[in-house]
């Protein structure tokens, strides 16, 4: 077993001076819970402890011994986790040791000595460290100092029975857990089947851009959870909690499953930029209930092509988020004789599923079609025609027309028709 | 001496940017274009005298080729509905074609840049209401990064403004085709050619 301890001295800097209130304790617990789920991406054994009178800092433990084969040695892993923590914009002290208590103790020594991987090494390093680093009550530390002890090694050299008699059995137990003679029970953090996390603000946020920072945190933590569960999402929901007003919601949909924090953020940022906040926000909530298997790019011959295709899907998500889903469409022909019904547009999500019908060949068609036919004066010279189109009597869109190609005075080639029912002329397309 | 080494340093870049072209599918045009086709990884400006003279049909062989090869092509804010049956007739694979509408030029140009930077996108055709040479330069940079073709449609009067586009053409209607007035070609000479597009063949 190898434990990495993250000591978070300033977990809630935004909470202000009054860090002891009940509200703060709740905020801290919620933050730690989110961080614990995030940390599950490296280990199935994660535990946390809130700041208390005994320990003033919030603590997070990650068992990294079992993950080393997969993720690299303890030093690499510690550097990786430190980097990920910085990316979340949390500042913490990290150390690795064979026991949780030793890892915690090592977070208080100079950085170059914060990594110990074996018990003999640990005992050797502990022996030279000053007594005041022990997580014992101040009173006990004073007594030990009074007894002439200065280094941890000197205390560990005493018979355990003597220590228990003079400083209480809890001191012995602590020392046994510190040195690995006794196992420390840590409450595990289970992975919930649905993700539900909330970021609460001390002061209501009025501007959507001010939500980007907490949003980034939420999404990075979310990505950690997805990695831990080996799952991806195709949709999730942001909920904005307001004061004295119902919550508002912003659903986020992706064209392809995703679990990458950067990509999730890119899409959500665009959605948020186009979204008008209903009222000041007191909390931001992220919720995901449906998960899919992640798309893992195989490192094979087709990797580059597959990656390009994935990048393209991500691009479509960003465009849809910015311009609106209905602004980006694919085109398909339809089996209908009336030109205005001979095509349709589809949302890109549906385009793959809908099969294009087989179209029997017709006379050449112009590239541009007008939204609605425009009434025009009878044209002079008719270059090509007539193509008679009579259709639609069954659905009310009755059409009986003769289509012609016409060259306008400015040189434009127009597709015009005469309505056979009333003799009127219309412009319907351009041979662009 | 220093000037010579500086020149040698710049030379590979110049030849490289002229190297990749996409055949236009029109022999007379390919012969007139530097590199023998539409420049890839660059902006081409098309300045039709009016809408509806075959300015889109001019690109159809290239678009058919790109989409059939699995590259994505985007039409950004075209002036009319791109008519699916016509595109099909000219060989475009509609499964690779995107029709994108944007409410204003800023969103349109942003989208164009994003699309151009993506290597899966073979070409972007865009019809902005207005564009200045700073934005054209940004499109040029995006096209260089992604390697696709950027076909920028501008009104005929834009030929009086300078532009960082690699290729600029004025399009004039003829009775049986188009006269292309190539008035700027990076790595080539200004000249005029006459082409017969599919739209003209219909007549």
* Extents of the domains making up chain B: 36-202
- List per-residue pLDDT tens for chain B, 203 residues long: 455 555 545 544 444 444 589 999 999 999 999 989 999 999 999 999 999 999 999 999 999 999 999 899 999 999 999 999 999 999 999 999 999 999 899 999 999 999 999 999 999 999 999 999 999 999 999 999 999 999 999 999 999 999 999 999 999 998 888 999 999 998 888 888 888 875 555 54
Is B113 in CB contact (< 8 Å) with chain A? no
Is B58 in CB contact (< 8 Å) with chain A? no
CB contact under 8 A, B53 and A411: yes
- pTM for this prediction: 0.65
Q: A54 pLDDT band (50/70/90 cuts)?
A: low
B153: helix, strand or coil? strand
CA angle in degrees (0–180, nearest 5) for A374-A376-A378? 145
For A407, the closest chain B residue by CA position comes to B175
* Sheet (strand A281-288) strand order: A195-205, A281-288, A233-241, A248-258
Question: With contact defined as beta carbons under 8 Å apart, do A58 and A10 qualify?
Answer: no
Q: Within the 65-104 window of chain B, which residues sit less than 8 Å (CB to CB) from chain A?
A: 72, 78-90, 94-95, 97-103
Q: Within the 313-342 window of chain A, which residues sit less than 8 Å (CB to CB) from chain B?
A: 315, 318-319, 322-323, 327-333, 339, 342
Alpha-carbon distance A217 to nearest alpha carbon in chain B (angstroms): 25
CB contact under 8 A, A411 and B203: no
Alpha-carbon distance A59 to A36, whole Å?
A: 10
* Cβ neighbours around A70 below 10 Å, total: 8
CATH number listed for the domain at residues B36-202: 3.40.50.300
pLDDT tens digits for A335-389? Answer: 888 899 899 999 887 776 666 666 666 788 999 999 999 999 988 788 887 888 8
Q: Facing residues of B180 across strands?
A: B171, B193
Is B155 in CB contact (< 8 Å) with chain A? no
A-chain CB neighbours of B79 within 8 Å are: 368
B-chain CB neighbours of A323 within 8 Å are: 100-103, 107, 111
Q: Within the 136-175 window of chain A, which residues sit less than 8 Å (CB to CB) from chain B?
A: none
Give chain A's largest Cα–Cα span. 116
CB contact under 8 A, B89 and A344: no
In total, the C-beta contacts within 8 angstroms joining chain A to chain B are 164
What does each C-alpha distance from A30 to A12, A34, A36, A222, A224 come to in angstroms? 11, 6, 10, 14, 16
For A344, the closest chain B residue by CA position comes to B84
B-chain CB neighbours of A306 within 8 Å are: none
Q: Taking 90 as the threshold, does the pLDDT of residue A65 lie above it?
A: no
Query: Residues A168-172: contacts with CB within 8 Å, 24+ apart?
Result: A168/A140, A171/A136, A171/A140
Which pair of tokens denotes residue B8? 């040698």
């Amino acid at each position: 077993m190898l434990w990495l301890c993250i000591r978070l001295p300033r977990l809630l800097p935004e909470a202000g001076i009054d860090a002891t209130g009940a509200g703060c304790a709740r905020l801290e617990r919620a933050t730690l819970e989110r961080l614990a789920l995030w940390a599950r991406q490296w280990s199935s054994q994660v535990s946390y402890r809130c700041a208390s009178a005994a320990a003033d800092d919030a603590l997070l433990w990650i068992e990294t011994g079992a993950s080393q084969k997969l993720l690299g040695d303890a030093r690499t892993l510690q550097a990786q986790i430190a980097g990920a923590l910085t990316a979340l914009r949390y500042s913490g002290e990290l150390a690795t040791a064979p026991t949780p208590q030793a890892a915690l103790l090592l977070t208080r020594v100079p950085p170059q000595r914060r990594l110990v991987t074996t018990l003999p090494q640990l005992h050797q390093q502990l022996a030279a460290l000053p007594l005041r680093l022990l997580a014992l009550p101040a009173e006990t530390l004073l007594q030990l100092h009074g007894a002439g002890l200065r280094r941890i090694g000197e205390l560990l050299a005493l018979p355990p029975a003597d220590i228990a008699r003079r400083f209480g059995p809890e001191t012995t137990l602590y020392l046994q857990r510190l040195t690995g003679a006794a196992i420390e029970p840590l409450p595990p953090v289970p992975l919930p089947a649905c993700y539900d996390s909330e970021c609460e603000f001390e002061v209501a946020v009025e501007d959507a851009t001010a939500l980007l920072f907490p949003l980034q945190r939420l999404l990075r933590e979310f990505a950690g959870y997805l990695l831990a569960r080996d799952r991806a999402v195709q949709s999730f929901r942001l909920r904005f909690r307001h004061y004295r007003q119902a919550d508002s919601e912003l659903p986020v949909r992706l064209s392809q499953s995703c679990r990458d924090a950067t990509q999730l953020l890119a899409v959500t940022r665009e959605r948020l930029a186009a979204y008008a906040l209903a009222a000041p926000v007191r909390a931001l909530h992220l919720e995901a209930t449906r998960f899919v298997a992640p798309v893992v790019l195989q490192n094979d011959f087709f990797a580059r092509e597959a990656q390009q295709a994935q990048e393209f899907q991500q691009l479509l998500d960003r465009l849809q988020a910015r311009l609106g889903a209905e602004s980006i469409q694919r085109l398909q022909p339809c089996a209908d004789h009336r030109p205005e019904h001979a095509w349709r547009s589809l949302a890109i999500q549906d385009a793959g599923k809908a099969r294009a019908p087989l179209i029997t060949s017709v006379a050449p068609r112009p590239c541009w079609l007008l939204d609605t036919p425009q009434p025009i004066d009878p044209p002079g010279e008719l270059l090509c025609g007539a193509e008679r189109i009579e259709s639609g009597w069954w659905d009310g869109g009755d059409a009986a027309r003769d289509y012609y190609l016409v060259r306008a005075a400015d040189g434009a080639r127009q597709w015009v028709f005469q309505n056979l029912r009333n003799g009127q002329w219309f412009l319907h397309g351009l041979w662009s | 001496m220093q000037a010579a080494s500086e020149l040698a340093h710049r030379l590979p870049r110049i030849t490289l940017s002229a190297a990749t072209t996409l055949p236009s599918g029109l022999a007379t045009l390919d012969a007139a274009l530097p590199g023998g086709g539409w420049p890839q990884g660059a902006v081409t400006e098309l300045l039709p005298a009016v809408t509806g003279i075959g300015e889109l049909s001019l690109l159809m062989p290239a678009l058919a080729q790109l989409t059939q090869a699995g590259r994505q092509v985007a039409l950004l804010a075209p002036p009319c509905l791109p008519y699916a049956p016509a595109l099909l007739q000219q060989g475009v694979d509609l499964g690779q074609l995107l029709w994108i509408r944007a409410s204003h030029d800023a969103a349109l140009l942003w989208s164009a840049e994003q699309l151009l930077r993506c290597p899966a996108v073979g070409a972007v055709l865009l019809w902005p209401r207005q564009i200045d040479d700073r934005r054209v330069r940004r499109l040029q940079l995006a096209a260089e990064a992604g390697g696709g073709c950027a076909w920028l449609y501008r009104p005929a009067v834009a030929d009086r403004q300078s532009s960082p586009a690699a290729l600029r053409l004025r399009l004039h209607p003829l009775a049986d085709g188009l006269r292309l007035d190539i008035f700027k070609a990076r790595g080539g000479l200004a000249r005029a050619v006459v082409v017969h597009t599919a739209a003209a063949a219909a007549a």
